Structure 1
Amino acid sequence: MSLTIESLNHQITDGHGKRQLLSDLSLTVGQGECIGLMGDSGSGKTTLLNLIAGLEPIQQGQIILAGVALAQASEQQLSDLRKTQLGIIFQQYNLLSSLSVQDNIAFSARLADRYDASLCTALARQLDIQALLNQYPLTLSGGEMQRVAIARAMSAQPQLLLADEPTGNLDDNNSSCVVELLVKLAKSHNTALVLVTHSHNVAAKMDKIYQLADGQLTLVNK
């Protein structure tokens, strides 16, 4: 399995003191499986992604990614895991403005020591950005930047992709196209996908939809 979450509990401190954000939460995501994660603002969706990515410490419970138990992993192990097994697609794209589109796409793959020129070329073609390779991020539209961000995340051939509201800045048409491409790429590369979204249309393109409320995940019928 790509991702296993077991009995995860997480508390945060807000204006009212300590609050239980995640309560005995469990989830299993298999290779090539695409999961949509929905929930109200403040329900813990982004925190859950951060915990999966090893960006926040696990308070109680366990997350196992690519065979690594994150609760017992060292900072170096977590860093290596993010480089080699995990792809993250941000709502704000986070492209490097000083690098061309071509070099942005290759960035994650080079970091993971998995650079494959033919794969980067194929990703650019599949995402219809091959004509933009010599341009720089500041010259691109929102939809184009999101496609570049997807290509960059996929170029390192991760086992798991995390996407936090990846279409939040796109119109409905671009949003639909980007998500369809993302799911198609995940399936073709046997990469698991966990995607946070407020859009029911986006979530409907996933294999499964989970609602996060009161610290628990509930499987939603499509």
Structure 2
Amino acid sequence: MPLTIHNLNHQIHDGHIERWLLTRVSLNIAPGECVALTGDSGSGKTTLLNLIAGLEPLQQGQIYVAGQGLRHAGDKTLSQLRRQTLAMIFQHYNLLSSLNVSDNISFSARLAGRYDQSHSLSLARNLGIDHLLDHYPDTLSGGEMQRVAIARALGTRPKLLLADEPTGNLDNNNSDKVIEQLLSLAKSHHSALLMVTHSASIAGKMDKIYQLKDGQLNQQSCGG
């Protein structure tokens, strides 16, 4: 299983008060399964992604990424996990301005020791950016930069893909195209996808929808 969360509790300091941001959160995502994570601002969605990525320490409960427990994992293990097993897609792309599109796409795969030129070219073709490989990020549109970010994330063939509002800066037309391509590629590569989104239409395209409210995760109907 790419992702298993078991009985996760997480406390934060809110001013002078300590409160439970996450309580008894459990979740399983299978290979190739695409899951939307919704909820109000401040409900803990980004914190949950950071916990899954090993960017914040676990307080109570356990998270397994491709069978690796994170609770007692050291920095070296977590770093290797982020290179080899999971990938993240950010709202603001995080492309390297000094590298062209081709090198941005291959960057994470090279770090993981998994660079495959034919795989990178295939991703670029599938995402419609193969004509931009020699271009630099500052010459690209928002939709083009997000496609580069998706190609970079999938270049390592991750078992788990985390996306935090990946189309938040795009218009509806570009957003729909990017989401369709991302879902198609996640399915074809058998990558589990967990995406934070405020968009009901985007969430409705997923296999499952979960809402984070009052610290708890509740499954919603994809039909509305």
The 1-side partners of 2:14 and 2:86 are apart by 30
**Secondary structure of 1:71's aligned partner:** coil
In structure 2, the residue matched to 1:149 is: 149
**Would you say how many aligned residue pairs link Structure 1 and Structure 2?**
222
Residue 15 of structure 1 and its aligned partner are, at CA, apart by 1.8
Match of 2:69 in 1: 69
Q: Which residue of 1 aligns with 2:174?
A: 174
State the partner residue of 1:8. Answer: 8
Q: Which residue of 1 aligns with 2:193?
A: 193
TM-score (norm: length of structure 2): 0.98
**Equivalent runs, 1:1-222 vs 2, <5 Å:** 1-222=1-222
The RMSD of aligned alpha carbons is: 0.5
Q: Distance in 2 between matches of 1:203 and 1:212?
A: 13
2-structure distance, mates of 1:156, 1:206:
22
Q: Matched residues in 1 for 2:138 and 2:205: separation?
A: 30
Measure the CA separation in 2 of the matches of 1:35 and 1:145.
23
Once the two structures are overlaid, the 10-residue window that deviates more, 56-65 or 11-20, is: 11-20
Q: Which of structure 1's runs of 4+ aligned residues deviate more than 3 A? A: none
Q: Report the Cα distance in structure 1 between the residues aligned to 2:2 and 2:160, rounded to whole angstroms.
A: 7
| SS of residue paired to 2:71 | helix
* Alpha-carbon distance in 1 for matches of 2:30, 2:191: 9
Task: Could you tell me which runs of 5 or more consecutive residues in structure 1 were left unpaired when the two chains were aligned.
Answer: none
TM-score (norm 1): 0.99
Q: CA deviation at 1:156?
A: 0.6
Letter in 2 for 1:129: I
* Partner Cα distance (1:220, 1:164) in 2: 19
Secondary structure at the aligned position of 1:57 is classed as coil
Deviations 1:50-86 (A, max 9, x none): 0000000000000000111000111100000000001
Counterpart amino acid of residue 123 in structure 2? L
Percent identity over the alignment? 65
Q: Helix, strand or coil for the counterpart of 1:73?
A: coil
